Chains A and B, each alone.
Chain A
Amino acid sequence: MIAEIGHFSLILALFVALFQAVFPLIGAARGNRAWMGVAEPASFAQFLLVATSFGALTWCYVASDFSVLNVAQNSHTDKPMLYKIAGVWANHEGSMLLWIFILGLYGAAVSWLGGNLPPALRARALSVQAMIAVGFILFILFTSNPFLRLDPVPANGEGLNPLLQDPGLAFHPPFLYLGYVGFSMAFSFAIAALIEGRVDAAWARWVRPWTLAAWCFLTLGIGLGSWWAYYTLGWGGWWYWDPVENASFMPWLAGTALVHSLIVVERRDTLKAWTVLLAIVSFSFSLLGTFLVRSGVLTSVHSFASDPTRGVFILALLAAVTGGSMALFFLRAPRLKSGGLFAPVSREGSLVLNNVLLSSAAGVVLLGTLYPLFMDVLDLGKISVGPPFFNAVFVPLMVPVVFLMALGTQMSWKRGNLTLALRQLKVAGVAALAALLLTWAMSRSLGASAAMGLATWLFVGTISNLFNRLKPSRLSLSEVWRRAAGVPLSFYGMILAHAGLALVIVGITGSTAWKTEKIQVMHSGDTINVAGYDLAFKGVEEGVKGPNYIAARATFTASKNGKFIADLKPEKRMYEMPPRPTTNAAIHTSAFGDLYAVIGDPNESGGYVTRLYYNPLVPWIFIGAGVVALGGLVSLGDRRYRVGVPSHKVNPKNPVHA
């Protein structure tokens, strides 16, 4: 019964979305307020119906209703409650339902919070949003219905892949989708603006918070996914340039470019066509990712049960959404008149360069991801493109980005002063040089030294930007406080996000340059030295019972110079349903790195294969990613996004604004 309610709500949502896609658009074209006005109740209705549908599927999972095929294939009564719920989106059908649930949520949020939007813009944006919803609801209903019944009803379900039974992965998809789908807002507003033939500062001010929110969620989603891979896959790695990772990284890169180019539109009324194109591209990358992951056109370690019929449907959807919007862009972009002119050396200039580099990076990742597909289709052989390619092309593109991040934010709009900006970065330059030499002295690694220097340059440069603004060395405490309170939140957001990236770079450098890895057979009582830590193997306890698995648990006692540090207890688990083994690494985190232990198979003589790692600075990657996302969140709180009245006035004199 509940499943049928879910199915029926989804069908109703389709009709509401169809209605919402057509009438407000016609209303906006004719200037009919009543017709435009229906977008608002329609978006609420659509959200409620999709939420009911999503709730119904969740209920089926919580109640373990195995008469529903999707539940029977992905759940089991023994599963802890968290994973029963997470099971809803750990499969293709349910995750698509989550996708449109979030789409509906964003649509309703625009209706609810967008009271100050011009009615025609809002009506058009909501219409476009509803068109996307129509496409995806049709996709679910025709190719991926999660509410199909099963007869006869099995006694129990098949269970969820144990790798996915993990808190990190339970929350990873919702964040990722909040990001992917969030870019649909920027997209819908871009299409609405193209239809109207007008993009201005006010438009950018409405679009930016939505884009920023989506970008924060995507940052967190990618960070969580990477963290999950790091602690569950047991290889000590955190990024593999796998097609599915790339599928989330490309919209992130395009979205990062978009978040920055929107600033230029908002402050300086220029770069309009480019920004609109980026909005289209960011969302198109999200759709492309959906296509790549679910159609089976690429091989990947992550894969949904792929099905060419679904692939054709999503490809048609992608062709309609992106093809249609690019055609519209081709026709209408010439109408978008650019406003403010600027010198190459200026805030705008550096943001343009940032955009060019980030877009090139996204393009390079796209090329590497699709290259095997091109070769295959052209019958030039089966190849795979791995980390060596990505590292070789991606890193050189990121170096100037990071270098400019410290420099560009010091420049004023319109016409910057390079000498002045560099003078303000004197401290950063000295610190960077010191970090570079120190790293060289310690490691004799040129790459690592350069990377550490660059990260220091960014970090110190960013913090000194804040100092220049507040001048704590020259002004009294109360004056500094007064200034600090007057600085807009978006500036603090920029400081946090940029400093966070510096932490990420330090983490990446440390973990790639100085990782220690020891693989050996150990017997109870053996001790191995890993990067200065003594790891004593105390043996393995078999048959440790978990909620739905049995584990072999090893114990290592870690000490440094005879001083006890921690006990590490890695496990090998055998899940009951489905019967599948997993390796659970034990990690001891400190400020400077992770001790990481994995237990392998026993050999004939009673020893065990053990893999012991010291991963220097890895925690900095995940903490840094969190700080980056926090920066976006802080920026989101900026007063100018909350105070409704959009101002068309721009003050080019105001030098620092993120």
Chain B
Amino acid sequence: MRDTMFLRRLTLFFPMAIFLTLVGFFFYRLVLIEKGNTPNMIPSVMINRPVPVFALPSLISGKPLVASAALKGKVTLIDVFASWCVPCRVEHPLLASIKEAGIALVGINYKDRPEDALLWLEKLGDPYDAIASDRDGRVAIDFGVYGVPESYLIDKQGVIRFKQTGPLTPEDIRDRLLPLAKELNK
């Protein structure tokens, strides 16, 4: 008799137990979002891989080739952009703050007409240390770019350590990019 009472009690406890487990999962998921891990974020296969080998002409005529070999030795942000891309315009003013933090800034001008790109930079300012012109988008394929803007943070050994699909926001730069770069610079 007491056993059946106990069983009945246990059954009644069941819904609450399931529910509390769910709440635990939800809470932990929210904590992850707070840390920047959103469910939309698909980890790039490029993370922790060396930068694809490339050598592209500079956007600005007369300057030397922009090549992957030159990336070693300093922490670099590679930013894929285009003059026809609206979100790039949103991201553009923020790039200066990245350079100020001591990160080298290399642009890859993606599927763009050089004259358009130059005009764009003239209007909005040129924060880049070097800009490669990837007119047919071949190098971008090696990087796994599927939308502009995209940016990759490269460590001193030339390994990709962080990737952002879409424009960088002030929060991304403050909370994720700069702390990581600081660590890589140690």
Q: Which residues of A contact B (CB under 8 A)?
A: 273, 277, 280-281, 284, 291, 295-299, 308, 311-312, 315, 318-319, 322-323, 326-327, 329-330, 333-334, 370, 372-374, 376-377, 382
Contact = CB atoms under 8 A, between A and B. Distances in A.
B33 A327 contact: no
Given A326-B16, A373-B26, 14 more contacts: A273-B12, A280-B15, A295-B33, A296-B38, A297-B26, A297-B30, A297-B39, A308-B30, A311-B30, A319-B23, A329-B15, A334-B8, A334-B12, A382-B39
Interface in B25-56: 25-30, 32-34, 38-40, 42-43
A329 B26 CA distance: 23
25 contacts: A273-B12, A277-B15, A284-B19, A295-B26, A295-B33, A296-B33, A296-B39, A297-B26, A308-B33, A312-B30, A315-B26, A315-B27, A319-B23, A322-B19, A323-B19, A323-B20, A329-B12, A329-B15, A329-B16, A330-B13, A330-B16, A333-B12, A374-B25, A376-B29, A377-B29
Q: Closest 7 A-B residue pairs measured CB to CB? A: A326-B16, A297-B29, A299-B39, A308-B33, A311-B30, A330-B12, A333-B12
Q: Which of B25, B29, B34 has the most CB of A within 10 A?
A: B29
Nearest to B26: A315
A382 B42 contact: yes
B85 interface: no
B9 interface: yes
Interface size class on chain B is 20 to 34
B47 to A, nearest CB: 14
Nearest to B41: A382
B183 to A, nearest CB: 22
Interface of B: 8-9, 12-13, 15-16, 19-20, 22-23, 25-30, 32-34, 38-40, 42-43
B39 A376 contact: yes
B15 A326 contact: yes
A351 B170 CA distance: 57
A502 B29 CA distance: 40
Given A284-B19, A323-B19, A377 B39 contact: no
B16 to A, nearest CB: 4
B39 A295 contact: no
Contacts of A311: 26, 30, 33
B39 A323 contact: no
Nearest to A322: B19
A312 B34 CA distance: 10
A189 to B, nearest CB: 18
Nearest to A311: B30
A312 B8 CA distance: 33
A299 B40 contact: yes
